[in-house]
Amino acid sequence: MQQQLRQQSFNLTGCSLSELQIIAEQLGEKPYRARQIFRWIYQKKASSIDAMTDLSLAFRQKLSAGGYYVGALKILQEQLSAIDATRKYLFELADGNTIESVLLTEDARATLCFSTQAGCAMGCTFCATGQSGFVRNLNAGEMVGQALGVMRSTDQRLTNAVAMGQGEPLANYDETLKALRIFNAPDGFAIGARHLTLSTCGLVEGIRRLAEEPEQFGLAVSLHSAIDVKRAQLMPKAAKYNLAVLQAACKDYTNKTGRRITLEYTLIAGENDQEADLRALIQFCRGWLCHVNLIP
């Protein structure tokens, strides 16, 4: 019975405006009611349908009777850094899996680094998540749920967000884009598209697909070496695309969108920080719109 009830319930957190319009219409309400629900969930951070006090009592009752609810992620751990204003969060998902998010605060900026998958299949050798393997994709509700959890716990508005936590966002493309659109929506988190970034280990099909999207979302590519054999050692799955193929996709992306790509390069002593590595990096970047974020 418990299981039956669970199957009939439907989490509104993560719904797009158009999905909420369909739900409102199915329940015999005007579509504009959807915008009210959307604002309640993402702007006012309502934690229940009952809190949506400008909806009629009858509509709220219909939503609850239909199994709709406002889901929230449980914070298992919140850790404040001793040296800066970084807060790390460990969230529990409804199925018991856990994911991490990080809030970085600097002056007026509050940037959320959120996860797009539980675990990761890419197996990068320097990454603990990559070593523990892939569990499952997150849905958009679980991505925006991380933002809601952080905002509720700090009472702080987010100014930026980056899909750079656990997981490879381009391997979970549709749900990641759906979440980014909620982050971006004026009635959602209202974060400008240029302040929303997706970070990939370099999945070429996804980069090409992202270039076709109308939004101005930022793109970061984890490079970590501009020498094919070394990159294959550090990022064995990502290196399925060699550097020439990756560079071609990046160049096409910048030509199509006019947007600059950030190349992430973590310096690993003795591995990718020698003169030959630097020369290869300079060569890789030459002649196209990118900048390099060297991470010591």
What residues line the site for ligand SF4 (CB under 6 A)?
A: 120, 122-124, 127, 129-130, 166-168, 201
Q: Cβ closer to ligand SF4: 130 or 141?
A: 130
Q: Cβ closer to ligand SF4: 35 or 136?
A: 136
> Smallest distance, Å, CB 80 to ligand SF4?
23
Q: Cβ closer to ligand SF4: 13 or 129?
A: 129
> Smallest distance, Å, CB 115 to ligand SF4?
8
Report residue 161 as tokens: 């967000």
> Smallest distance, Å, CB 95 to ligand SF4?
20
Q: Cβ closer to ligand SF4: 104 or 185?
A: 104
Amino acid, res. 110: A
Secondary structure string (H, E, C) spanning the chain? CHHHHHHHCEECCCCCHHHHHHHHHHCCCCCCHHHHHHHHHHCCCCCCHHHCCCCCHHHHHHHHHCCEECCCCEEEEEEECCCCCCEEEEEECCCCCEEEEEEEEECCEEEEECCCEEECCCCCCCCHHHHHCEEEECCHHHHHHHHHHHHHHHCCCCCEEEECCCCCHHHHHHHHHHHHHHHHCCCCCCCCHHHEEEEECCCHHHHHHHCCCCCCCEEEEECCCCCHHHHHHHCCCHHHCCHHHHHHHHHHHHHHHCCCEEEEEECCCCCCCCHHHHHHHHHHHCCCCEEEEEEC
> Smallest distance, Å, CB 113 to ligand SF4?
11
List the one residue out of 235, 115, 129, 105 whose CA is nearest residue 175: 115
Q: Cβ closer to ligand SF4: 68 or 217?
A: 217
Q: Cβ closer to ligand SF4: 27 or 220?
A: 220
> Smallest distance, Å, CB 121 to ligand SF4?
7
User: Which residue's beta carbon is nearest to the bound ligand SF4?
Assistant: 130
Query: Rounded to whole angstroms, how far apart are CA atoms 159 and 157?
Result: 7
List the one residue out of 175, 197, 40 whose CA is nearest residue 112: 197
> Smallest distance, Å, CB 201 to ligand SF4?
4
C-beta atoms surrounding 77 within 10 Å: 11
Q: Cβ closer to ligand SF4: 25 or 205?
A: 205
> Smallest distance, Å, CB 140 to ligand SF4?
19
> Smallest distance, Å, CB 124 to ligand SF4?
3
Q: Cβ closer to ligand SF4: 282 or 295?
A: 295
